[in-house]
Chain A
């Protein structure tokens, strides 16, 4: 589904990704771990097409289509969803309005008819319930005044409504209490664990992976994947830390 080949990218002229390659098949969940500053969020932003993140080499395809050629909104319509490490607050725009615009923009781009107001509200209600969010919260402005954990749950409601092919979730587990972690983990499983879907979970901790079991775990360090393995790699990391794996130089 996703093929990243020898990707190089820089931010403000500073090289951050240095020849990153990764292949994710439909039906798979991949975890990416790695020290602070390794380039995990940068990878997510580069895939999402964030302005200021310049690709200087390599290629990325989503279901065979050149992702890097697309505008950010076209990538979303092509089935990419980015869960933000720091979800953005948008005063004056309600979650419901925001998501209805987004869902119908994606449908229009794919040549599908728009959802009616009633159909959309039904969908929003079902997805919000699935993540224990009230419709009252959905009527509030996007992420404004939401706690850290509420923002992450709201992002999962967005994912449920937009129903992407590939989700890249950047530290969706950070800031979640024990119950919320389970709710979010279950939500990811329910929405994305399907033969034609795939997920990349960026995380620092094993605990999310207890809820969403990865098929592969990768360690990203200094802008490239330096080690890949099965779920046991995350356990080893949790026990021993990056230094024991010979990765302490990533913080230079």
Chain B
């Protein structure tokens, strides 16, 4: 398969390094992948509430899955997104009737090759779904996720990027109907690089979207999150809260945009983008954007990049905490509020534990 990839000369891709992808595309999946798949199972959170468990190994559904309410076949959703559009293989669809509830957990294992899987979540009015996804392994895992939320529907989405090497790309698109609510949290705490692209459209009145997360980068890693919330209906609320941490020579980038259409009056859009540099050789890029065409809106944005507070470090040291631990404690506090929004305790605890593991390593 030959793929056309975006070039770093394009503005939207200048912080992302895709140069390693052609080699991964040419690679052959590891023959021992079943063993690997089972080894990866502890990566699952396995909350008691989960009724649907999917394990994809190099993009292929593993027999240990319990598909529950999910349908596995070609997916009826397309995107123009430069990477997401390659996810045309069979994927999974969750289609909930009014008032139905589903708790889905998906684990994606990659064994060194490339895989492209689409997903489609359709929530009828007042349906409620929780979708937790975990990515582990090596290679290039490319995913396209599209959600359509009917009136009053709710989607909780939590994504952990924990891959050991390679590249992870995720294209999220969500369309929110009247009074619908989306709370999405992404944690980048692996050793590979990543690119998360999101487009959330507030299409119905009084919809609510929270989209954000924490991207932790060290070594030569590059993480980038580029999220757009488009308010196309009045009385919508959105909150984008991202934290980026960069150590060594890593690059962590956040680009977040709020768009408010002319008729989307009374929109309340909040953006909070914060970067933390653990070493001077690391880079954090932050790009907040507001594009407002309505006149009666409340939009606030804050964007900062800084280092750990020296006074706090000395305060911790003066109480006996060694420098490495003090840095970990303060870094954890920096990312904490990005993960606090995860509603389900088992999921939140797992994400916090992953962040801690990254910080303590």
Contacts and interface: CB of A to CB of B under 8 A. Distances in A.
A93 interface: yes
Interface in A74-110: 75-77, 81-82, 84, 87-88, 90-93, 97-99, 101-103, 105-106, 109
Nearest to A86: B311
A171 to B, nearest CB: 16
B316 A98 contact: yes
A88 B320 contact: no
A93 B330 contact: yes
Contacts of A97: 329
B322 interface: yes
Is the contact region of chain B dominated by helix, strand, or loop, or is it mixed?
A: helix
A48 B316 CA distance: 12
B333 A106 contact: no
Interface of A is mostly: helix
Nearest to B311: A88
A88 B317 contact: no
A145 to B, nearest CB: 15
Interface string A223-235: 0000000000000
Interface in A31-87: 48-51, 71-73, 75-77, 81-82, 84, 87
A82 B319 CA distance: 8
Interface residues of A, number: 31
A197 B322 CA distance: 24
B322 A105 contact: yes
Given A101-B321, A101-B325, A102-B321, A92 B333 contact: yes
Nearest to A87: B315
Interface residues of B, number: 23
B323 A73 contact: yes
Contacts of B318: 48-50, 72-73, 75-76, 81-82, 84
B312 interface: yes
A76 B319 contact: yes
Nearest to B313: A51
A20 interface: no
A51 B321 contact: no
A51 B326 CA distance: 15
B337 interface: yes
B336 interface: yes
Interface of A: 48-51, 71-73, 75-77, 81-82, 84, 87-88, 90-93, 97-99, 101-103, 105-106, 109, 142, 158, 162
Closest 8 CB pairs of A and B: A92-B333, A76-B320, A102-B319, A72-B317, A106-B320, A88-B315, A105-B320, A73-B317
25 contacts: A48-B318, A51-B310, A51-B314, A71-B317, A73-B319, A73-B320, A73-B322, A76-B317, A76-B320, A81-B318, A84-B315, A90-B312, A90-B333, A92-B337, A98-B316, A98-B319, A99-B319, A101-B329, A102-B316, A102-B319, A102-B321, A105-B319, A105-B320, A105-B321, A162-B320
